[in-house]
Structure 1
Amino acid sequence: MEKINILMVAAEAAPYVKVGGLGDVVGSLPPALRKLGLDVRLILPLYDAIDRKKFALRKIFSNLAIAYAAQTYRVNLYATFFPAGRTPVYFLDAPEFFSGPEIYPRQGQSDRFLFFSAAVLSVLPSINFSPDIIHCHDAQTGLVPVLMKTIGAGRFEGVKTVFTIHNFTYQKKTSPAVLKKINLDIQTCHSLALDARDGDINFMVQGILNADQVTTVSPTYAREITTSFYGAGLEKIIRRRRADLTGIINGLDLDFFNPARDPFLVRRYSARCLSAKKENKLAVQKAFGLPVDEKIALSALVSRLVWQKGIDLLDEKCARLPGQLIILGRGEQDQEKRLKALTRRFPKQISVQIKYDEKLAHLVYAGADIFLMPSRFEPCGLGQMIAMRYGAVPVVRATGGLKDTVSRQTGFVFQDMTQPAFFGAWQKALDIFYQQPRQWRRRQSAGFRKDFSWTKPARSYAFLYRHLLDRRTKKN
């Protein structure tokens, strides 16, 4: 079978630069696809936050000319390989657009990613790589397919595009006037004219309307976003592409999230020795300033502290439950303030640490008995998979990837986005923890046995790519 060439375009990818789940996915999928025999390469912006020495970046091209906003910018192209395997990664160096400490600054995002999208297509001939498919991730790269059809017309004939929605609510909007910077206007193509009717250009909309295939990160989320409740105002747009919409569950980096080898744990363990979790539990209780007692049920939440995650359901009622609650994360200031107030009121039951700490997060997963994800929506979710990988039993709402990955055999699922429904599922988990230890251990073991590797998702993407190329062949 002829090798398929894939160019992935994204705003972030672990381990180089990561803000959220997008970075985890884009950092894991290319190497997994390469193991299946696909020639996959990734291109990212070269932000100031990326450590050039640590990741052995080498300059492969200098002073490449990019026409943008009636000027000619000179960019450099760097390259390295993913730490695992020989998957190439390219970095576009343009200080005028990618400098500064933030990946997603409040000002200038549209300019940053419009330039990035145009520059990717401009520098592609320099790397001597002819992709069969360009796979774009999230709204930051949503203009790539329309640019291929307009200013890139002729150069990309026959090249297919895939656009993956990681979170439908994170849309990039800008004034239609910005299009002049790349010699376009709203009359250039139908999708731009349609989009501009409401007074802006939405990068997410352009990705959806112009890509040959649209994917998102779970089958349930793919169905949900066609509804008004989950559609973030774009449900009518995504319905236009319903026939070309596929949901593929993300995987986990099983080497990084491995309690048997995790360097961040006090005691490593496997499914065969789950009792060793207790040493991590005692360490977590101590780290969060709670009474140290292995017999007390320890519930945990590791998350961005935002409305989407259902953080507002957590209030003083948590302190009335028979157990302890720890929360690790950062987010909206009002939520942070409210949660810190709960810690002051109930210091023996609730403890909150307002920060993102990868090492501490691993210890929390390893020490927790129960892992909470009461999300209003969750495109895929990694927390519930990590929790099961570490023997913590998840309590989740039946939405998106949570519904697709957690069952009654591995956790506790509630339907309604209400406090009674959430606390009812949480209380049921606590009842079984205290009263039915054998059933609790069965749930832990069932979660441990689930395959969350990238093998199955990578095969699904490979099948999708081949299907797209088969359609191209039949059309020709």
Structure 2
Amino acid sequence: MHLDLFATVLTIHNLAYQGTFPPDVLPVLGLPWDLFNLEQMEFYGKVNFLKGGLCFADRITTVSPRYAREVMTPLFGCGLEGLLARRAGVVHGILNGVDYGEWSPASDPFIPAHFSADAMAGKAACRAALVEKMGLSDGPGPIFGAVGRLAAQKGFDLLASVVPEMVALGARVVILGTGEALVEDMLARCAIPGKVAVRIAYDNALAHLIEAGSDFFVMPSRYEPCGLNQLYSMAYGTLPIVHAVGGLDDTVVDVDEDPDQATGLKFRTFTAEALLDRVRRAISLYGDPERLQKVISRAMAQDYSWDVAARKYLTLYEELLESRRVGQAQ
């Protein structure tokens, strides 16, 4: 069997996690010492497994088109931006997909009532169930949900900094997740009976209810290779509010940047004021039910299924194998 008949594709999910080890790991793995150089696997005196993969893979994919561009910049490249820029011709961005068998408001077993874009009554029942479960007060303002890994990368520290202002604007907030102790503590201190509910836990059923029962879903990530919750949110008619990075920027269309195609709201500078501006805009949109419903309907019509992503991967694999066959024939 000749290895040169095979082709390899390496997919970057999150470039920050690279797998670095002391140099003496090379002989343990049966790898030659001549790989320990700046152009291949050496990285600040250690062996970097991801760097090695990026050097030798025939194609490199990331989990969104924008992240494919971002990893070639110092801000997002995690020290590997130069290598990725040199290999830009083989780097492709393909969005992750959603399993709509698990994340569909029409069949979700974790929510009290089902609904769809054509029959939205069930969403009100989900909202009422969320209010009751999380001890929120009744009120005219919207509910903002947030679920995820409670980490600085996910921007939950930024969210914590604006929660008091959100409440002052009439919002109610529900936050669920576990993560970094410092961020967990920041969020726990944001809790206000009836107005801000914070659950430091992993709870899949509650995550589904928050997606179904909230009016808006906040994802203020510092960087986000793809993101999935904004895709779940759109499927559940819960408009995402996202920092315009990575897959968040690829998948959400802002209500002011492109009103006719809008599916949510985006802020482009990672500041409290920029996030609050979109929160204010969301509250304004919530007060315009006719326009709000148009955006919700458009969001729910989006198709981010694995069928779409799989076809793109299949095309990439077929093109790569064909180029390998042509190369072998020459």
- Secondary structure of the residue that 1:325 maps to in structure 2? strand
For structure 1, which runs of at least 5 residues remain unmatched after alignment? 1-153
Residue 275 of structure 1: how far off its partner (Å): 2.9
Letter in 2 for 1:254: Y
CA distance in structure 1 between the aligned counterparts of 2:107 and 2:2, rounded to whole angstroms: 48
Q: Establish whether residue 368 from structure 1 lines up as the match of residue 217 from structure 2.
A: no
- Aligned pairs for 1:118-197 (under 5 A) are 155-187=2-34, 189=35, 194-196=40-42
> What is residue 141 of structure 1 aligned with on the other side?
none
1:422 to 260, 271, 275: 275
Aligned length: 318
- Secondary structure of the residue that 1:233 maps to in structure 2? coil
Q: Identify if the C-alpha distance between structure 1 residues 313 and 351 changes in structure 2 by more than 3 Å, giving closer, same or farther.
A: same
- Secondary structure of the residue that 1:227 maps to in structure 2? coil
Q: Establish whether residue 303 from structure 1 lines up as the match of residue 151 from structure 2.
A: no
Letter in 2 for 1:323: A
The C-alpha deviation readout for 1:169-213, integer Å capped at 9, x for no partner, is 1121101101221222431x4768743252111121111111100
Percent identity between the two aligned chains? 38
- What TM-score do you get using the length of structure 2 for normalisation? 0.93
Q: Is the CA contact (8 Å cut-off) linking 2:239 and 2:299 kept in structure 1?
A: yes
CA distance in structure 1 between the aligned counterparts of 2:37 and 2:213, rounded to whole angstroms: 50
- Secondary structure of the residue that 1:428 maps to in structure 2? helix
Q: RMSD of the alignment, in Å?
A: 1.5
Q: Is the CA contact (8 Å cut-off) linking 2:40 and 2:52 kept in structure 1?
A: no
Q: Is the CA contact (8 Å cut-off) linking 2:41 and 2:49 kept in structure 1?
A: no
CA distance in structure 2 between the aligned counterparts of 1:277 and 1:233, rounded to whole angstroms: 45
Q: Identify if the C-alpha distance between structure 1 residues 454 and 194 changes in structure 2 by more than 3 Å, giving closer, same or farther.
A: closer
Letter in 2 for 1:331: G
> What is residue 286 of structure 1 aligned with on the other side?
132
Letter in 2 for 1:374: P
1:433 to 286, 296, 304: 286
Residue 241 of structure 1: how far off its partner (Å): 1.3
CA distance in structure 2 between the aligned counterparts of 1:473 and 1:225, rounded to whole angstroms: 30
> What is residue 403 of structure 1 aligned with on the other side?
249
Q: Is the CA contact (8 Å cut-off) linking 1:327 and 1:351 kept in structure 2?
A: yes
CA distance in structure 2 between the aligned counterparts of 1:319 and 1:261, rounded to whole angstroms: 33
Q: Is the CA contact (8 Å cut-off) linking 1:282 and 1:292 kept in structure 2?
A: no
Letter in 2 for 1:443: V
1:471 to 313, 323, 328: 323
For structure 2, which runs of at least 5 residues remain unmatched after alignment? 255-261
| Poorly superposed stretches of 4+, deviation over 3 Å | 189-194
1:313 to 143, 150, 158: 158
Q: Identify if the C-alpha distance between structure 1 residues 452 and 191 changes in structure 2 by more than 3 Å, giving closer, same or farther.
A: farther
- What TM-score do you get using the length of structure 1 for normalisation? 0.65
1:331 to 179, 191, 194: 179
> What is residue 91 of structure 1 aligned with on the other side?
none
CA distance in structure 2 between the aligned counterparts of 1:308 and 1:250, rounded to whole angstroms: 19
